[in-house]
Chain A
Amino acid sequence: MTSGPIAPSAAGTGTTGTSAGPGSGGRRGRRGGRLSLRARESRAGLVLVSPTVLIVLLVVVLPFLWTIVMSFQRLRLIDLQNVFDITLTLRNFETVLGSADLWEMVRTTLVYSIGGTVLSVGAGLATALALRQRFPGRMIIRAFVLVPYVIPVVSAALVWRTLLNPQFGPVNVFGVDVLGWDQPIGFLSERFHRVELFGVGVDVPIALLTVIVFEAWKTFPLAFLFILARLQGLPRDLEEAARVDGATPLQRFRYIIAPQLSGVIALLVLLRFIWTFQNFNDVYLLTRGAAGTEVVAVQVYNYLVSRNDVGGAAALGLLMSVVLIIAFAVYYRFGVLKQEAEV
């Protein structure tokens, strides 16, 4: 139903994979029974996996290939009949790469994704270590720690916006009334906030910092779960031996636990970087990309929806994917994924 024009091709690729099933099977009748077990097994395998492959092909792979084509087309939402116009052009890339705020966007996105990744994985690691030993109430705490990860991002963003509201948000009211701030802080509306520390004034990019903390808060439970699972699988005897040999808790962490966690942490850093880099919801819902928080995903959305420039959105989206593919390739090259994917 949804796949109108590509349905014929889809049905085509589908039947080559699956038609061996009902159609020919019925005609062959008894001969089907004489197919070797191995041949029947591989046929069954292809039949069972084909719906999944088909849907991923139609909704993920083909659209990506189409994005590549569109990034070289002059395409606006108003004149979509141009979709099949194959005059290729580099103007989209000129627009995107020539835009005045390109470098600021790149810097914002990198600070956001690296900062978010480090905070998220760091907090997850700390929480997992803190909850490693059994104690009463541990499972309840574990359940509550997962709450930020499972609640809808819209609710989470709304409650943060309310908490940080400059007029009646409890954080600002507490800061002004109890901590003695001079004035409320626009956590989500101020690009920079001047902070005096020991007589030195520093301009803190407060809105960007807030969306980073939000991202870490929303995602650290995932890192926590991964790391805790690995921690509980670690053999205890190594640590016991180190303790007997006089290693202090910090030394045991540094020399026994950390090396065994490095694989899962490397995997988490990659996953979190990739997801934070492409994150749209959090930033859009919190600030709409204002006050120095316009990350690349928000800009792609703006190209697509506000400027109706499909070609520009595709070009920027393609550049964004290239960065992610490079990150993935670097990791793959160093074999981090292979060893973790087996677990």
Chain B
Amino acid sequence: MASREVVETRVLGVARVLWLTVVLIACVLPLLYMLLLSVRPLQAVLQDPLGVPSPSELNLEAYRRVVASPEDGGYGLLSFFGNSLIVAVGSVVLTVVFSVLGAYAATRLRFPGKNVINISFFACYMFPGIVMAIPLFVLFSRLGLRGELPALIIIYLASTVPVSVYMLRNYFRSIPRALEDAAMVDGCNRAQVIVRIVLPLAMPSIAATSLYVFMIAWNEYLFALLFLLESRDNWTVSLGLAQLDDISVSATVLMAGSVLLTLPVIALFFAAERLLVEGLTAGAEKG
């Protein structure tokens, strides 16, 4: 028995290291390759695809071309960043406001129909986006709203609000109710309780929710493709970059664009991961 224990422990230990190596390579290498390719001249890539670039051949020409406006011989990706930012920030603000109110009601208040609402949110969460897109596509075409950014914001709001309510609700539950009762006894009304007591305490989870919504809105492709395709001025970065792939732009330029598209999300993710851990541990210290 003991020998079997030893053998299994060893084999599993080796398997574990191997698996983690494979996973890490699979997760990091594509990103690294993206970065490497974006700073090499295309000619060098075609001649030596596996080569590590020498410092002398590094240049930012691909970035210049993907960012520059079409008049300057570029692909005009820079102008799309404003659109993506409007859509993402707009979705975050609206979703956080809606879901804080909804989650507070769902955790703290008793009202008729509460359980039905809880269950239907879970169902909405899994509803196929492409099916929802058909009638919205028709509706927005009729209204002449296809191609407008607010249409996109409303869709992102609706598709992220169920999950956001769910995320915030779990956190609200951990906030002691006695605090709110005390504030009410001291004369706060419901709105003051939410603004002065619940919001400050829930900041870590609001940050996490905002991050989630931002990523969904920034990364989204299908609805941007369906609704914005005809109005180039309103393209998001995701859509603009995907459209470049259609007109056979060189790989180095595509990779430069991908780096620019990915950078904000990755930066936010790594920054907020620490913030989240800090927020959680700070709460734990105070009990």
Residue numbers of A with Cβ under 8 A of B are: 1-2, 4-5, 38, 41-46, 48-49, 51-53, 55-56, 58-64, 66-67, 70, 75, 77, 80, 83, 123, 126-127, 129-131, 141, 143-148, 150-163, 165, 167-170, 173-174, 177, 217, 221, 246, 248-250, 271, 274-275, 277-278, 280-281, 284-285, 297, 300-301, 304-305, 310, 313-314, 317-318, 320-321, 324, 328, 337, 341
Out of B9, B49, B245, which one reaches A169, CB within 8 Å?
Answer: B49
CA distance A141 to B127 in the complex (A): 32
Contact residue among A64, A127, A167 (Cβ-Cβ distance under 8 Å from B131) = A64
Q: Which 4 A-B pairs rank lowest in CB-CB distance, beginning with the nearest?
A: A45-B111, A59-B158, A45-B109, A278-B128
Say whether B19 contacts A77, CB under 8 Å. no
CB of B262 within 8 A of CB of A155, answer yes
B124 cross-chain contacts in A, Cβ below 8 A: 56, 60-61
* Contact in complex: A83, B127 (CB < 8 Å): no
Other A-B contacts than A154-B242, A155-B241, 10 sampled, CB-CB below 8 A, are A5-B143, A38-B110, A42-B110, A44-B109, A55-B154, A127-B20, A130-B19, A152-B219, A314-B134, A314-B135
**B269-A146 in contact (CB<8A):** yes
Q: Tell me the interface secondary structure of chain A in the complex.
A: helix
Q: Say whether B280 faces chain A, with CB atoms less than 8 Å apart.
A: no
A317 touches which one: B23, B128, B142, B143 (CB < 8 A)? B128
For the complex, give the distance between the alpha carbons of A271 and B125 in Å: 10
Chain B 235-267, CB within 8 Å of chain A: the 1/0 string? 000110110010000010011011101100110
Across the interface, which residues of A come within 8 angstroms of B123, CB to CB? 328
Closest to A81 in B: B142
A159 with B137: CB separation less than 8 A: no
**Which listed residue (B30, B111, B128, B245) contacts A324, Cβ 8 A?**
B128
Tell me whether A154 and B221 are in contact (CB under 8 A). Answer: yes
The reply on B215 being an interface residue by CB < 8 A is yes
Tell me if A51 and B19 are in contact (CB < 8 A).
no
Chain A residues within an 8 Å CB radius of B185 = none
Q: Are A159 and B111 in contact (CB under 8 A)?
A: no
Tell me if A2 and B110 are in contact (CB < 8 A): no
Contact call B262/A162, Cβ cutoff below 8 A: no
Q: Which residues from A are CB-within-8-Å of B111?
A: 41-46, 49
Residue of A nearest to B121 (CB): A56
Q: A186 to chain B: closest CB distance in Å?
A: 16
Quick check: A67 and B130 within 8 Å, CB to CB?
Answer: no
Structural contact, A55 and B110, CB atoms closer than 8 A = no
Q: How far is the CB of A124 from chain B (nearest CB, A)?
A: 10
Whether A328 and B162, one on each chain, are in contact in the complex, defined by CB atoms closer than 8 angstroms, is no
CB-nearest residue of chain B to A51: B98
Query: How many whole Å from B135's CB to the nearest CB in chain A?
Result: 4
Question: B261 to chain A: closest CB distance in Å?
Answer: 5
Contacts of A146 in B (CB 8 A): 269
Least CB distance, A328 to chain B, in whole angstroms:
7
Confirm or deny: B50 has a beta carbon within 8 angstroms of a beta carbon on chain A.
yes
User: Which of A4, A61, A158, A285 counts the most chain B CB atoms within 10 A?
Assistant: A158
Given contacts A151-B262, A151-B266, A304-B137, contact A271 B245 (CB under 8 A): no
Determine the chain A residues whose CB is within 8 A of the CB of B255 once the complex forms: 158-159, 162
**8 Å CB contact of B105 from A45, A160, A161, A249:** A45
Residue of A nearest to B239 (CB): A154
